[in-house]
Structure 1
């Protein structure tokens, strides 16, 4: 359930993009992220730092995307969120008595101290890796960055609004518009299905790893799989 709640803004972003384009989707994502923070506050009487960080970065980079009509800013947001959380997990490896993973999951699972530290490093590495994968998709796999540069060079305009591009140009330029739009869609699909898939696979692998090291503390009321994994990013 928490996994789906964490991905709530991403899911709405995807739906809005398919219906109205990336700029409307950016507005929807900002609103959804704000609603996520408000709902969690009302339900649990507290806020999650992950939700607040996501809302802050989404507001800043989504706002730049809307103001400058350039999707590249909102495309960078998942990378920055992942890297910030990766830095936080890595920092907890050296600062404080317990790592972030242990603070989040020790109420549900009892494993040796060394396992907590390995899990914490694994989460730090996963966040760093996810941020890099997002940039790889933006700049290489989807071909969006190059397609956008080719379009700017062909039109002579500093920025081209892809939501109107195909209706404003004809011929070869229109083909470039279509190519850039298709590349943009590749990233949007990755943002939902790719990021969610990577996170799900990592959480499952973590669960199998933890299961091998759980202590038999049934009399202490512990044991079993964690019901609150560390936060996922959007």
Structure 2
């Protein structure tokens, strides 16, 4: 349930994008993140740092997307967030007595300290790679957008209404770019959520193996 709650703004972004396009979807994501933070504060008396960091970055990059009518910012946002999380997990390997993943999970799971360090480093690498993967998917759109800008001379392109602005090869290029944008939106929800869920499952198997070993040694 918490996993879905963490992806709440992303899910609403996906739904709003399919109905109204990327700029309305960005505004919806910002609003849903405000609700997420407010709900945590009202119910628990505090806000999870992950939600607060995500909200701050979303407010900056989403705000720039809407203000400048440039979707580049919102497409970079997942990479920035994942790299920041990766850096925080990595820094906790060397700062403080416990790695971050241990501080988050040790109240419910007990495993040896070296296991926590390995798992923490793995989470750091996962976030960093996920950030690069997001850019890899988004880059195809960036290339298609730049090619259309160079050909048409336009600085802002309405990819949601290609047929109203272009004809012939330019229309085909616009439709291709819009499809690539949709591919990124689909990846943002299904790809990132699926990879994260899969990683959590692998983590559970990894921890279970060490928990079992500890119980056998203590028996």
Q: For the superposition of Structure 1 and Structure 2, which TM-score range results when normalised by the shorter chain?
A: over 0.9
Match of 1:154 in 2: 151
Alpha-carbon contact 1:144-1:183 (below 8 Å) kept:
yes
1:80–1:131: 8 Å Cα contact kept in structure 2?
Answer: yes
TM-score by length of 2: 0.95
Contact 1:89 1:124 in 2 (8 A): yes
Aligned residues between the structures: 215
Correspondence for 1:196 among 171, 175, 193:
193
Identify the residue that residue 210 of structure 2 maps to in structure 1.
Answer: 213
Structure number with the bigger relative contact order (C-alpha 8 A, sep ≥ 6) is: 1
Q: Give distance in 2, aligned partners of 1:199 and 1:21.
A: 25
**Alignment gaps of 5+ in structure 2:** none
SS of the residue corresponding to residue 175 of structure 1 reads helix
SS of residue in 2 equivalent to 1:210:
helix
* Structure 1 residues not aligned, in runs of 5+: 220-234
| Residues in 1 aligned to 2:98 and 2:73: alpha-carbon distance in whole angstroms | 35
Output one character per residue of 1:73-101: Cα deviation in whole Å (capped at 9) or x when no partner: 10000000001011100001001011110
Give the secondary structure class of the aligned counterpart of 2:46: coil
Distance 1:26 1:96 in 2: 37
Per the TM alignment, residue 163 of structure 1 is displaced from its structure 2 partner at its CA by 2.7
How far apart are the structure 1 equivalents of 2:2 and 2:182? 27
SS for the counterpart of 1:216 is: helix
The alignment yields a C-alpha RMSD, in angstroms, of 1.4
- CA distance, structure 1, for counterparts of residue 81 and residue 34 of structure 2: 16
Task: Summarize the alignment of residues 1-234 of structure 1 with structure 2, pairs less than 5 Å apart.
Answer: 1-139=1-139, 143-214=140-211, 215-216=214-215
